[in-house]
Structure 1
Amino acid sequence: MPSATFDLKALIRPVPDFPKPGVIFRDITPLFQSPRGLRHVADAFIERYVETEFSHIGAMDARGFLIGSIIAHQLNKPLILFRKQGKLPADVLAEGYQTEYGEAFLEVHADSLCEGDSVLIFDDLIATGGTLLAATKLVRRMGAQVFEAAAIIDLPELGGSQRLNEAGVPTFCLTEFSLSER
């Protein structure tokens, strides 16, 4: 976990009224522009997962790719990419889900996982949980299981972590924001 002397929230920029009025977007690009900040976040996840048993890391398109690929490399785990519709070239499985702004589809290569595999899934943030729940359904359709869903940020008022827990998926986030927090 980030230490008490490290202010992770200071590296997450609030962008009011994006992508629509009333929404405060949580921009993690300043975090990735800070070598110390990125190292701190990566180390926190690595410390949490280095001695746990799972077979793969799954990363959500697109910001989940950033942290998921670092953790997969550091833990020497295969990386599975969950992409937006139409981005993968081979046979895919697809799952529709609701976002805060409408409907979307998540896809994964159909041969990414095998029965008995266990996947740690990453995204940058948990809002409504739609993307991670769609990934969970895709993982389960391949006969695998989700070990845990992890993210840098949780927005607990939107209920995503609760929905994931209700679906049997434990969650872990490094920090959280209330919807009104600047």
Structure 2
Amino acid sequence: MDIRDHIRSIPDFPKPGINFYDISTLLAEPDAWQVTMGRMAKVVGPYAPDVLVGVESRGFLVAAPLALKLGCGFVMARKSGKLPGATERYEYQLEYGSDVVEIQKDMIAPGQRVVVLDDLMATGGTAAAVCELAHRMGGEVVAVACIIELTFLNGRDRLDVPFHTVVQYAS
């Protein structure tokens, strides 16, 4: 099955010149979603993760069912101020400004094997930031995986761990 057949492309969203790859259509097709999660399980499972960290918000849709399938924990990485209780935070630079990601303090124990998941890899800044945050919390980040990779943005080059994807777009 070609997963690309189930991903909708929306031109000029959220602004002119951007081609948005929408996984809503993939999520709505049970067979395609099942195949996608199976392919993700094949690449993530061998890393024997203790926890999967999903990046807000579509990364939650990938990480939560995959954690269930693999029998490991699921942890949310969110923007600042979205998580209750004490959090660890990491501020990182974007092309124009900065952003913050947070994880609740007690969600990653020292030495736990961590895989970071999102729906899409673009420039790699957020994935790299979440990896750094999990590492600072004592986790051993062993891989990053996404459904979609925009290869022309070279996001994987910002990572110092193995990266896996199901679908690649060259433009």
TM-score bracket, shorter-length normalisation: over 0.9
- Call closer, same or farther: CA 1:27–1:94 in 2, change over 3 Å: same
Distance 1:51 1:157, change over 3 A: closer
Bigger proportion of residues as strand: 2
Q: Which residue of 1 aligns with 2:105?
A: 110
Matched letter for residue 118 of structure 1: R
Whole-angstrom CA distance in 1 between matches of 2:96 and 2:147: 21
Larger deviation, residues 42-51 vs 116-125: 42-51
In the TM superposition, what are the counterparts of 1:19-168 in structure 2 within 5 Å? 19-99=14-94, 103-164=98-159, 168=160
* CA-CA distance at 1:86 after TM superposition: 1.0
TM-score by length of 2: 0.94
Shift in CA distance, 51/161, structure 1 to aligned 2, threshold 3 Å? closer
Task: Give yes or no for contact 2:92–2:100 (8 Å, CA) kept in 1.
Answer: yes
> C-alpha displacement at 1:38, in angstroms?
0.4
Pairing 1:17–2:7 present: no
Q: Provide Cα deviations, 1:126-162, integer angstroms capped at 9, x if missing partner.
A: 0011111111111111111211000000111112111
Q: Alpha-carbon deviation of 1:95?
A: 1.5
CA distance in 2 between counterparts of 1:51 and 1:18 reads: 36
Contact residue 95 and residue 106 of structure 1 kept, 8 A: yes
CA contact 1:99–1:128 (8 Å) conserved in 2? no
> Matched residues in 1 for 2:22 and 2:114: separation?
26
Q: Equivalent pairs: percent with the same residue? A: 35
TM-score by length of structure 1 reads 0.88
4+ runs deviating over 6 angstroms: none
- RMSD over aligned CA atoms reads 1.5
Do the aligned partners of 2:47 and 2:142 also contact (CA within 8 Å) in 1? no
Shift of 1:7: 1.7
1:43 maps to amino acid = G
Stretches of structure 1 that go unaligned for 5 or more consecutive residues are 1-5
The Cα offsets for residues 22-75 of structure 1, whole Å up to 9 and x where unpaired, read as 110111100000001100001111223334322111101000000110110011
Work out the number of aligned pairs and report it. Answer: 171
Q: Which sits farther off after the overlay, 27-36 or 44-53?
A: 44-53
Task: Identify the residue that residue 173 of structure 1 maps to in structure 2.
Answer: 165
